[in-house]
Structure 1
Amino acid sequence: MPIYRIAIGTPGEASHPDALKAAAAEFFSTLIFVFAGEGSGMALNKLTNNGPQTASGLIAAAISHAYALFVAVSIGANISGGHVNPAVTFGALIGGNITLLRSISYWIAQLLGSTVACLLLKLATGGLETSAFTLSSGVSVGNALVLEAVMTFGLVYTVYATAVDPKKGNIGVVAPLAIGFIVGANILVGGAFDGASMNPAVSFGPAVVSGVWTHQWVYWAGPMLGAAIAALVYDNIFMGDSTHERLPVTDH
């Protein structure tokens, strides 16, 4: 079971130059992703005078997030792995592909990157509010929890198949594109119901800046649950001990 491969890491790991560079890469990648994704939603609201959501608006959101995530994962891949998402980091931790201490540094960097992106958006747009994630009318907390878990399962499963699996071969080249595509597709599915976060950092930044925390826990619990299940499923069924490269637990 992957759970037995979880490595805590060593105290010196957090201050190691490589770990600091990786955290910085996660900060900037997440900032770029959230600025473009959240910013596109704010621009659409301005163009429609905060009118009701439309099909064309949902498609625009899906495209902007897919493009932005493709870029964000690409620019961080060679430094930090291009997680850009606390749920992806959690999935990597469950599978033993990153240590707990490094995961914590990634989570901090991702949350800060999202928050700074939203603050910059508010500053750049003359004080317009960033839109916090909320449940649509008729969507219960249970509905949203399942939706977020399933969508994030698809995302993290894709990450494992195209970026983590040692057998990925040449398909690793298209990993950022595949990851961006699955997020864009999932937004077309869940965007009208709960905003289709799949990423606690994406939900956290707008909540901090707007001060709206309603149902925020759903956007953490759902993605983390989906990520854990995806890691367990893919690692146990398709990777296993024979192909898994255990992380070193000492400084390097």
Structure 2
Amino acid sequence: MRDALRHLVAEFLGIFAVVFLGGGAILMAQQGAGNLLTVALAHGVVYAALVSATLRVSGHFNPAVTLGFLVTRRIQPMMAALYVVAQLVGAMAAAYALKGTFPEEAFAGARGSTQSIALAVEGGQAFLLEAIATFFLVFTLFGTAVDPQAPKLGGLAVGLVVVADLLAIAPLTGGSLNPARSFGPAVAAGIYEGQLIFWTGPIVGGIVAAVLYDQLFLPRGPEEPGSGAVQPVQGRRARREHAV
């Protein structure tokens, strides 16, 4: 019971930080105290810090990540369901904390930090943008945290890809990447625009990334000769010197 509790508390705190601090940056940007770069950096830094802090326990903070783990059999169905519940509750709690602590005009002006789809972007395009951006988020998480041979980067790589994703697609879709991140503020603000896309796009992208990495990139036996990792520069230099 205690083991399950720490997983769920980690998920709650992680998504709370993402929604409260990332959403706070959006609210401040709407008041002229920031821009797209500051919003992207706020989200990326929060992800990097909190994923690093909780990676030993969970580090998902996102139903798209959790479902990717579920499909690749890295989490039990019941625990996956509890993760998603903790993520949704944490996101709602953070959104209401924003509503209760930030000036009312700031919360209303930024629509509670909810995302919106640009008028020039069609539904199918928005779906693909969210799916592709979340694909790279989950792929990076698998490549730096799940893979047993991954470089020990903590959540840094995840934070960096979040920054890049938001810089690329936030002006078009708001840059959800995370159904819980979209759902919490939507409940607090009473604005449910685009929720279908903010759920389906990230979930599809996350599952595709998880399955692809699991099936194609995770080691399942010795590498064939000549197909392993790139040799270090020092090794290549030593071979050239030996040949001479």
Alignment of 1:6-17 (within 5 A): 16-17=1-2
Equivalent-residue separation in structure 2 for 1:117 and 1:45 (angstroms)? 18
Give the whole-Å Cα distance in 2 for the aligned partners of 1:147 and 1:240. Answer: 30
Which residue matches 1:63?
41
Q: Is the 8 A contact 1:159 1:175 kept in 2?
A: no
Query: What letter matches 2:199 in structure 1?
Result: W
Q: Does 1:183 align with 2:165?
A: no
Asked if the contact 2:55–2:154 (Cα under 8 Å) also holds between the matched residues in 1, the reply is no
What percentage of aligned pairs have identical amino acids? 36
Render the CA deviation track for 1:135-184: whole Å, top value 9, x for unaligned: 0121111111000000010011001110001222xx1x213000000011
CA distance in 2, matches of 1:165, 1:240: 8
Measured against aligned partners, the alpha-carbon deviations of 1:195-226 in whole angstroms (never above 9, x if no partner) come to 11100111001100111112201000000100
Deviation at 1:79, TM superposition (A): 2.0
- 1:117 to 2:94 alignment: yes
Equivalent residue for 1:73?
A: 51
**d(CA) in 2 for partners of 1:126 and 1:179?**
31
2:75 to 98, 115, 123: 98
CA deviation map 1:205-250 (0-9, x unaligned): 110011111220100000010011111111111126559xxxxxxx
Give 1:38 shift. Answer: 0.5
Q: Is the 8 A contact 2:15 2:90 kept in 1?
A: yes
Task: Give matches, 1:1-252, under 5 Å.
Answer: 16-47=1-32, 57-80=35-58, 82-127=59-104, 128-129=107-108, 130-168=112-150, 171=151, 173-239=152-218, 241-242=220-221
What one-letter code is carried by the residue in structure 2 that aligns with 1:166?
Answer: P
Shift of 1:131: 2.6
Check conservation: 1:89, 1:103, Cα contact below 8 A: yes
Does the residue aligned with 1:196 lie in a helix, a strand or coil? Answer: coil
Greater mean alpha carbon deviation, residues 56-65 or residues 136-145: 56-65
Q: Which amino acid aligns with 2:130?
A: E
Partner Cα distance (1:115, 1:167) in 2: 36
Partner Cα distance (2:102, 2:162) in 1: 26
Q: How many residues align?
A: 217
Query: Is this contact kept in 2: 1:29–1:75, CA < 8 A?
Result: no
The answer (yes or no) to whether the contact 2:138–2:206 under 8 Å persists in 1 is: yes
Query: What's the offset of the Cα at 1:126?
Result: 3.3
Q: Deviations over 1:53-112 (max 9, x none)?
A: xxx7111111111111111212221222x1111111111111111111111111011111
- Rounded Cα–Cα distance in structure 1 between residues aligned with 2:5 and 2:221: 31
- TM-score (norm: length of structure 2): 0.85
Larger Rg: 2
Given that residues 149 and 226 in structure 1 are in contact (C-alpha distance below 8 angstroms), is that contact kept between their aligned partners in structure 2? yes
Q: Which runs of 4+ in 1 moved over 3 A?
A: 240-243
